[in-house]
Amino acid sequence: MSSPASTPGGRKRGRNANPATRKSRTFFFFNIQEDLHISVVYLPWIVPNEVDMSSPLMYGTPSSTPRGGTPARQRPDLGSVRKAPQVDLHSDQPNADGTAASEPNAGHRLVIWGTDVNVGTCKEKFQRFLQRFIDPASTEDENAGLDLNEPLYMQKLEEISVVGDPVLNVNCRHIQSFDAELYRQLICYPQEVIPTFDMAVNELFFERFPDSVLEHQIQVRPYNALKTRNMRSLNPEDIDQLITISGMVIRTSQLIPEMQEAFFQCQVCAFSARAEVDRGRIAEPAVCRHCNTTHSMALIHNRSLFSDKQMIKIQESPEDMPAGQTPHTTIVYAHNDLVDKVQPGDRVNITGIYRAVPMRVNPRQSSVKSVYKTHIDAIHFRKTDEKRLHGVDEDGEQKLFTEDRVKTLKELAAKPDVYERLSSALAPSIYEHEDIKKGILLQLFGGTRKDFSQTGRGHFRAEVNILLCGDPGTSKSQLLQYVYNLVPRGQYTSGKGSSAVGLTAYVMKDPETRQLVLQTGALVLSDNGICCIDEFDKMSDNTRSVLHEVMEQQTLSIAKAGIICQLNARTAVLAAANPVESQWNPKKTTIENIQLPHTLLSRFDLIFLMLDPQDEAYDRRLAHHLVSLYYQSEEEIEEEFLDMAVLKDYIAYARTYINPRLSEEASLALIEAYVDMRKIGSGRGMVSAYPRQLESLIRLAEAHAKVRFSEKVETIDVEEAKRLHREALKQSATDPRTGFVDISILTTGMSATARKRKEEVAQALKKLIETKGKTPAMKYQQLLDDLRGQSETAITKELFDEALRALADDDYLTVTGKTVRLLA
């Protein structure tokens, strides 16, 4: 794979016979003929013996720094750069760019043909960048363990010398902040600038570590070019420029060996000759130079040089696409060690050079199809979903906002009624349910993410989980649909149709590679988003059980088919459940109505009932709302409500940039609120709040602060959180028997009164048995009848059974079939 030739330049030897070619700005291969009136100089790393030794280009030529035995390696990703000539600006004024020409050093007038890149200056600048660039604010995970106050890239070079992986990834954003001009050149002329960078970095490296031996010379891989765009915005102007696009891999080809250098041998005299592949073609020597036999040269495959190549198809990410259009695809070629770096299904950011090649002229036809083939030569891959699964990522997520947009958003945030505005903008077609909308709004914003892993508790859940229950046909599904459409990473599943694996992840054997592949389900996919689960009550218990971990720990542990891992599922859950009896029974508790385990219910911060309120004023407003829905024109609708796009941006902005912290007063208010909640219950001998409720309150208060774009949680936030929490509790945790709000309905699945009643019945039963005297065994039915006769309140069979069970637990009696036996 790597060239055995170890020329002083470290690069492959160019051949004198080969006319200098390169790509022109008009996107064509250009033949520079002899008759060009510009002075053409070959780059130093190409043909050192041809270079005028007095040329300033000889500055720091590699010949001055001998490099052990480290071979160079071709960069097929950069195309036929080796033949790039340089031009003296004096004889070619039209190419003179102001910046390049105004270099004070008279020696730096030589630029690579067609560009304004001066090799010497460029190299110098890049070396300066490497030696000096410091990024104290670096948050990138790959910089972990590096001293942020030392030059970043020098540390990386050191790493290379230790690890021996000769690839230097350079963040373009760093170059831009260090030297905007260099950055511009890199973006515009990557094909010329990157080899210069390579040269610079190798010089620097072997100067510092003269003894290190690498597999091949260091290659610079820039990434994160600020021209990050989606595929849709690529246009002819981007051709031959360095671009970064994001997308999803949909197909990869197998490895294609691409011939780089052909080896020919004369059949007569065994004289050998090499021919480089030039744009997919090999110039087969017609005559043997040694014995002058014509057509005697035969290609020897085994001794030719090949490089790896792979075709990868990338499709636009679904988030980037305008509605109603199909995704675009682009072909990407990966070379050498980038081959097989990505798999179909991966989300990647690709940095590379955009190419357009005209359709080949068919020799038998005079006319050509006037279309170009476009592709991207990949220089750097960065998987985006990988990070999503394994850690907190910041930069990949950031949506870029224009300044205007930020301004409008901030103006909106400054309005005193922003909270009400936003909540009414949420699903305007659904009427009323203001508190529910407010709850969902807070869910969309979420709390502040806190990390307590140092103290052993790990992450605190920042996401707010909400359950909606209520009569069928109260637009629960519609709300869910709306939320699912609003958030970028929403998932919508129906409890009826989802299985546990569909929600979590499953392991699949790839039919092609026979590898085990982990396919993620809805909960993992909605990491950092919202997972909407409709028909929550119809979900099988098995499936529901996976939600326990997700809804508190925000992770998913998987142990199947030899894959044991923990995935992040920092998703907020918005679930909707229908009552078991199809109509909500107001005489029953929430738990009894929806028959969900209380362990799960207690993980919801807010549980709302969506019931038909059945009062006249409400009816009137509802009617008005619906009728207006049917006659207003589109424009009026626009005026009346914030449009969805603004809401989307507002949420995205707040989620990325606002991280509210509790203020002193707010903490006090929270403490007070919690103590109050505990007090309410203690009066009646029951617990009405648990730490989980306090955590909910904090999350809601933080979310409310986010709505206001405030970095501080203040008392008003706590007030609103308290109010909302109370409203939700009032709806869902009211004990129908007593009319009191009783949190234990949600935490233990039974109201405190019900528990008390159970206790009483058990005691009454015990007394009854005791009065019967020494009878070791009793009839079950008899006992029930007796108890019924004795008690003034109705005793159901269930209640009786429970009382028996309670006594059995106390080892007082046992029940065998229809007889009750006393113990002891």
For residue 631, count CB atoms less than 10 angstroms from its CB and return exposed for 0-12, middle for 13-18, buried for 19 or more: exposed
Instruction: Tell how strand 490-494 and strand 530-534 pair up.
Output: parallel
Q: Looking at 267, 429, 540, 782, which residue binds other proteins (CB under 8 A)? A: 429
Distance of closest approach, residue 437 Cβ to other proteins, in angstroms: 12
Residue of 479, 574, 577 lying closest to 536 (CA atoms) = 577
Q: Does 631 bind other proteins (CB under 8 A)?
A: yes
Site map for other proteins, 25-64, x if CB under 8 A? -xxxxxx---------------------------------
The C-alpha angle with vertex 249 and arms to 243 and 255, in degrees rounded to 5, equals 95
Q: How far apart are CA 685 and CA 702, in angstroms?
A: 32
Q: Looking at 90, 132, 369, 407, which residue binds other proteins (CB under 8 A)? A: 369
Q: Looking at 49, 54, 370, 454, which residue binds other proteins (CB under 8 A)? A: 370
Count Cβ atoms below 10 Å from residue 652 Cβ, excluding itself. Answer: 18
Output the CA–CA distances (angstroms, integers) from residue 192 to 75, 187, 202, 497, in the order listed: 12, 10, 16, 55
Q: Looking at 622, 642, 764, 815, which residue binds other proteins (CB under 8 A)? A: 622
Write out the H or E segment, with its range, that includes residue 555: strand 555-560
Q: Looking at 629, 668, 671, 777, which residue binds other proteins (CB under 8 A)? A: 629
440 near 724, Cβ under 8 Å?
no
Output the CA–CA distances (angstroms, integers) from residue 267 to 53, 264, 296, 304, in the order listed: 40, 9, 5, 16
Q: Looking at 96, 167, 299, 357, which residue binds other proteins (CB under 8 A)? A: 357
> CA torsion angle for 117, 119, 123, 129 (degrees, to 10)?
-10
Taking CB under 8 A as the criterion, which residues in 454-483 touch other proteins? 473-475, 478, 481-482
Q: How far apart are CA 152 and CA 113, in angstroms?
A: 33
Site map for other proteins, 163-192, x if CB under 8 A? ------------------------------
Residue with tokens 């909606």: 468
Q: Does 210 bind other proteins (CB under 8 A)?
A: no
Q: How far apart are CA 172 and CA 767, in angstroms?
A: 83
Q: Does 256 bind other proteins (CB under 8 A)?
A: yes
The one segment of 134-142, 410-418, 628-636, 795-803 that binds other proteins by CB under 8 A: 628-636
Phi, psi of 723 (to 5 degrees): -65, -45
416-449 CB burial, b ≥16 within 10 A, e <16: eebbebbbbbbbbebbebebbbbbbbbbbbbbbe
# residues contacting other proteins (CB under 8 A): 90
Q: Which residues pair with 306 in a beta bridge?
A: 259
Q: Give 667's contacts (C-beta < 8 A, 6+ positions apart).
A: none
- Our CB check for other proteins shows the closer of 134 and 321 to be 321
Distance of closest approach, residue 71 Cβ to other proteins, in angstroms: 25
Taking CB under 8 A as the criterion, which residues in 503-542 touch other proteins? 510-513
Q: Looking at 159, 258, 278, 711, which residue binds other proteins (CB under 8 A)? A: 258
Distance of closest approach, residue 457 Cβ to other proteins, in angstroms: 35
Q: Hey, what are 624's tokens?
A: 């008005």
Distance of closest approach, residue 240 Cβ to other proteins, in angstroms: 11
Distance of closest approach, residue 388 Cβ to other proteins, in angstroms: 15
Q: Looking at 4, 104, 136, 280, which residue binds other proteins (CB under 8 A)? A: 280
Q: Give 586's contacts (C-beta < 8 A, 6+ positions apart).
A: 736
Q: Does 356 bind other proteins (CB under 8 A)?
A: yes
The one segment of 560-568, 570-578, 621-629, 756-764 that binds other proteins by CB under 8 A: 621-629
Q: Does 93 bind other proteins (CB under 8 A)?
A: no
Q: Does 145 bind other proteins (CB under 8 A)?
A: no
Q: Looking at 19, 68, 210, 236, which residue binds other proteins (CB under 8 A)? A: 236
- Our CB check for other proteins shows the closer of 281 and 587 to be 281
503 near 455, Cβ under 8 Å?
no
The one segment of 23-31, 78-86, 199-207, 659-667 that binds other proteins by CB under 8 A: 23-31
Taking CB under 8 A as the criterion, which residues in 311-330 touch other proteins? 311, 313, 315, 318, 321-330
The one segment of 43-51, 133-141, 353-361, 401-409 that binds other proteins by CB under 8 A: 353-361
Q: Does 428 bind other proteins (CB under 8 A)?
A: yes
- Our CB check for other proteins shows the closer of 512 and 811 to be 512
- Our CB check for other proteins shows the closer of 329 and 659 to be 329
488-522 CB burial, b ≥16 within 10 A, e <16: eebbbbbbeebebeebbbbeeeeeeeeeeebebbb
- Our CB check for other proteins shows the closer of 211 and 635 to be 635
- Our CB check for other proteins shows the closer of 151 and 488 to be 488
The one segment of 130-138, 614-622, 710-718, 759-767 that binds other proteins by CB under 8 A: 614-622
Distance of closest approach, residue 214 Cβ to other proteins, in angstroms: 30
Q: Hey, what are 552's tokens?
A: 């508190």
Q: Does 427 bind other proteins (CB under 8 A)?
A: yes
Distance of closest approach, residue 583 Cβ to other proteins, in angstroms: 10
Residue of 812, 608, 644, 611 lying closest to 729 (CA atoms) = 608
Distance of closest approach, residue 79 Cβ to other proteins, in angstroms: 12
- Our CB check for other proteins shows the closer of 232 and 598 to be 232
Q: Hey, what are 121's tokens?
A: 């200056």
Type of residue at 86: Q
The C-alpha angle with vertex 326 and arms to 322 and 329, in degrees rounded to 5, equals 105
Phi, psi of 97 (to 5 degrees): -90, 140
Taking CB under 8 A as the criterion, which residues in 687-746 touch other proteins? none
Phi, psi of 334 (to 5 degrees): -105, 140
The one segment of 44-52, 251-259, 455-463, 674-682 that binds other proteins by CB under 8 A: 251-259
697 near 402, Cβ under 8 Å?
no
Q: Does 301 bind other proteins (CB under 8 A)?
A: no
Q: Looking at 40, 331, 768, 815, which residue binds other proteins (CB under 8 A)? A: 331
Rounded (10°) angle between helices 715-732 and 664-682: 30
Residue count of the chain, please give it: 824
Q: Looking at 182, 239, 594, 750, which residue binds other proteins (CB under 8 A)? A: 239
- Our CB check for other proteins shows the closer of 342 and 658 to be 342
Distance of closest approach, residue 255 Cβ to other proteins, in angstroms: 8
**Is 606 strand, coil or helix?**
strand
700 near 605, Cβ under 8 Å?
yes
Longest dimension (CA), the chain: 126
- Our CB check for other proteins shows the closer of 533 and 787 to be 533
The DSSP 8-state label assigned to residue 366 in this structure reads S
Q: Looking at 18, 155, 230, 253, which residue binds other proteins (CB under 8 A)? A: 253
Distance of closest approach, residue 149 Cβ to other proteins, in angstroms: 43
